[in-house]
Structure 1
């Protein structure tokens, strides 16, 4: 059960991969960014023993890394033009 948070993030990434495979890359990128933000929240609120594979480094480094990367991916997905988001 300690890998449940990691499984949630993996399911989100799998849904994103499906959307990307269906040529909806912006939606897929938004879902990946959201998955990273979910990982950051899980890592921030869960103890290291319950965070499972989301606990890679120290808690502050993990939370900052997941959150910044998620926000960068969301920024790119929302700001690149000439592609439908919906």
Structure 2
């Protein structure tokens, strides 16, 4: 169970993002989703592969690069798109 703790932490962030989006807080949800992916990238980078659990999909460099890139793009989108009067 402890091996899956990093994955569960990231999924908790994704769940929080989904809830925010469901309640019409799409910018905040996008920000939380991007932050969760960046946390996953940092965890994958510094936790040994034997402890990474489901965060380990491919090689370490691939996993970190993809999660950091998608997380960064999500944060950029959340920050750069006009909210049109909503949060």
Category of TM-score, reference length = shorter chain: over 0.9
Q: Which residue of 1 aligns with 2:49?
A: 48
What secondary structure does 2:57 align onto?
coil
**Which structure 2 segments of 5+ residues have no match?**
none
Report the TM-score when normalising by structure 2: 0.93
Report the TM-score when normalising by structure 1: 0.94
CA-based RMSD = 0.9
**Which structure 1 segments of 5+ residues have no match?**
none
User: How far does residue 5 in structure 1 lie from its aligned partner after superposition?
Assistant: 0.2
Q: Aligned equivalents of 1:48 and 1:26: distance in 2?
A: 33
Q: Which residue of 1 aligns with 2:61?
A: 60
Paired residues, number: 85
Q: Which residue of 1 aligns with 2:86?
A: 84
> CA offsets per residue over residues 1-55 of structure 1, 9 Å max, x none?
1000000001111111111111000000000000000000000000111110001
